[in-house]
Structure 1
């Protein structure tokens, strides 16, 4: 898989940490070294249980790096460590979980298999019920292991699940597969594979001028059914809400394959919509060392505060407590650029949110006209 670090020559790489994409043999070797170091400490003249040093994944350790050659920026983690210890009460179970996940991943790599996080959860639930009771514990432990071994989750044999779909002016050809014409996949589009190895090897051809990322599957279906890509030469892609890793990875790869093609985002005018956009744009702190592999330079096309005059007053919805919580989190983060902060401040001050579907007030075919007009505006600016 490609590595964007090679092109970001103005980043201070010596202060940044990454998760490498490694072959199974090397990942197994890193696990074996961890085991040998553990045993060495146990068998020393002064026996001790060694701690597990991991890259710190807290937001205080995150950085947003801006390339001086492009507008692109991503979330990275700096080289600051934390430890999981068996002797500390607050991290003892996390310490054991990390070894359990490493053991499971080692077996998966030996078998030359790949599993989803959900499949891994049920395996661990059955084999280690005292330590794994929720999916969240598994997800967090996977990131602990990534932070410990400095290799990607995919290198550990863990496959991303996918909800995403793609449609429009794009031809896709995978290894030993027929070519898929995404203009002919119907309103539901072409289902994005959760296998990142397949996504990395896809041969992609297009005559599109734009990529449009759509928050909601229903809006995606409407635009695909109306074949808006015939009016606007574009590729449509959706993750059906908060973006899954496979959809983010494919979009990131498309941004590399078609580097001059603008990527636009169509989301609801609310804090959650902005959070979704920012996840596509910067990656997420939760992905730790891998965040940069799931980011792209997406521009916020709509809904924006300038579009509110298009929406009937009856269509506005009061902000919920969850909206306010997301707004607070975004405001306190380092990633939000000034014009995004202004939009967020207007949302909070108004106490209202607007959904894309409100544009149907002008007719079911209005969305295509709206997108065409917004794209012209962005290019004019």
Structure 2
């Protein structure tokens, strides 16, 4: 088994050399900078009121593709110029509530940053639940403010509740300390650890992992655990965001990549939605493009399930799923994106999927043999470099 990671070791060494040559990190915005940016917003409002005009706030539409551009070494980032905006007017019934929410939160954030103190989203919400309506609404407004001020969410001094649980799970050769000093050991082969709700506070990361494996679905993740994947193929780390990942799962992958400088692979279904989920980890999303530097890992490699693997491993026809109209639309959308067109190998796989008009879930490999995924497919891929 000594040479089972032959190609992974070569990839890891190449990656570390590259990172040593170009070790750029995004600096946290200073407290004074955040205060200054809030003051500018308020000053604009005051000037409008002094002129007898209805104050307005201009926000970037975070779900509009025209507001982002592709940067090869970062992912999807916000355009700096000619960005379409949404205008919120205080005298318009449709936007007055959102306008008020933003001003309320700006006031809270200003006081927190000024006093160098922190508050949880839960604290803020229950201070005036009638105004915010829901915690989900509060979270959306916080993202709008972060984008408007062009500062990372962590610089707003609003944190998730200390007892809030993350969506993701993690397991493998990894130990670390939470911000409060709690030691977390992820090395149990039978159970997984919830991803930290305060990833930025994690310290003293200790791991001998040779690679990190992102797993799309919880079902596949649990299968890897039950088959003792991390024990038999150790040292490694596996993590899942249980489908479309939450921010904490993405932060954790980025934190581990920054710290360990090891290859990061993705194991997703051979369908358009699996590819999109992988691209969120690798290149980010439209809605969070303003925080791309802390959320994306552009070096993520597609380990499987590749569309070409369906024929290569002769996956039984009865386990394949015909394309739907939604699948066709999603695949066409993916093909039009810059981060796909710049990768010929990915384009070829997508063309294969479109030609087959079929998709396959990772679980379909079990139809070849019960333990085919963990004892044949993944070990061979990692040993011989079967990734793109």
TM-score where L is the length of structure 1: 0.80
Structure 2 residue aligned with 1:34, among 35, 41, 54? 41
Tell me the residue number matched to 2:53: 48
Q: CA deviation at 1:198?
A: 2.0
Tell me the residue number matched to 1:74: 75
Tell me if structure 2 keeps the 8 A contact 1:170–1:204: yes
Tell me if structure 2 keeps the 8 A contact 1:242–1:276: yes
Secondary structure of the corresponding residue to residue 204 of structure 1? strand
Q: Residue 249 in 1 paired to residue 256 in 2?
A: no
Tell me the residue number matched to 1:292: 293
| Partner Cα distance (1:205, 1:173) in 2 | 9
Q: CA deviation at 1:239?
A: 0.9
Tell me the residue number matched to 1:142: 142
Tell me the residue number matched to 1:63: 69
Q: CA deviation at 1:331?
A: 2.2
Q: CA deviation at 1:228?
A: 1.5
Tell me whether 24-33 or 364-373 shows the greater mean CA deviation.
24-33
Q: CA deviation at 1:76?
A: 1.1
Secondary structure of the corresponding residue to residue 285 of structure 1? coil
Tell me if structure 2 keeps the 8 A contact 1:159–1:196: no
Q: CA deviation at 1:179?
A: 3.8
Tell me the residue number matched to 1:354: 360
| Partner Cα distance (1:40, 1:372) in 2 | 64
Structure 2 vs 1, CA of residues 124 and 338 (structure 1 numbering), >3 Å: closer, same or farther? farther
Aligned residues: 353
Tell me the residue number matched to 1:209: 210
Structure 1 residue aligned with 2:195, among 185, 192, 196? 192
| Partner Cα distance (1:134, 1:249) in 2 | 21
**Alpha-carbon displacement from aligned partner over 1:5-47 (angstroms, at most 9, x marks no partner):** x9477xxxxxxxx9x734666535533442233223322xx43
TM-score where L is the length of structure 2: 0.79
Structure 2 vs 1, CA of residues 122 and 315 (structure 1 numbering), >3 Å: closer, same or farther? farther
Tell me whether 50-59 or 84-93 shows the greater mean CA deviation.
84-93
Structure 2 vs 1, CA of residues 176 and 35 (structure 1 numbering), >3 Å: closer, same or farther? closer
Tell me if structure 2 keeps the 8 A contact 1:265–1:299: yes
Q: CA deviation at 1:147?
A: 2.1
Secondary structure of the corresponding residue to residue 273 of structure 1? helix
Unaligned residue ranges in structure 2 (runs of 5+): 1-18
Secondary structure of the corresponding residue to residue 155 of structure 1? helix
Secondary structure of the corresponding residue to residue 196 of structure 2? coil
| Partner Cα distance (1:288, 1:380) in 2 | 26
Structure 2 vs 1, CA of residues 119 and 334 (structure 1 numbering), >3 Å: closer, same or farther? farther
| Partner Cα distance (2:101, 2:362) in 1 | 43
**Alpha-carbon displacement from aligned partner over 1:324-351 (angstroms, at most 9, x marks no partner):** 3322321232221332233223323323
Tell me the residue number matched to 1:13: none
